[in-house]
Amino acid sequence: MDDAGPWRLDGEDLRVLVRVTPRGGRDAIEGCDRLADGRTVLKVRVRAVPEDGAANRAVAGLLAGAAGVARAKAEVVSGATARIKTVRLTGAGEAGLAALRRQLP
């Protein structure tokens, strides 16, 4: 994930670096932000609480829907207990990236 944005294509998979706000009152993609270390993240807010993986499932589902892939194809692959996470969208490819970009405010 670099200056090109919070996403990276890995073959046909799309990896997205996100900063999550759990218990956020709504499920929404709020745009991009730059962290102090220079990384760009996609800001995501979910209603779910950060207990028993509920917030992770909500984030994966939100991004899957935005990218046009099945929920089963989305998973948090790093940062399961942190606010900064990497989500892999299996098979999303260029089409999924374009769909996700269209969701940005």
81: in domain = yes
Distance CA(16)–CA(1), nearest Å, equals: 8
28: in domain = yes
104: in domain = no
The pLDDT of residue 41: 98
The pLDDT of residue 1: 46
Structural domain range at position 77: 7-96
- Cα atoms in the Cβ-side hemisphere of radius 13 Å centred on 30: 16
Read off the pTM: 0.93
Predicted confidence band of residue 27 (pLDDT cuts 50, 70, 90)? very high
The pLDDT of residue 3: 54
78: in domain = yes
What is the number of structural domains in the chain? 1
- Angle subtended at Cα 10 by Cα 9 and Cα 13, rounded to the nearest 5 degrees: 80
53: in domain = yes
Predicted confidence band of residue 86 (pLDDT cuts 50, 70, 90)? very high
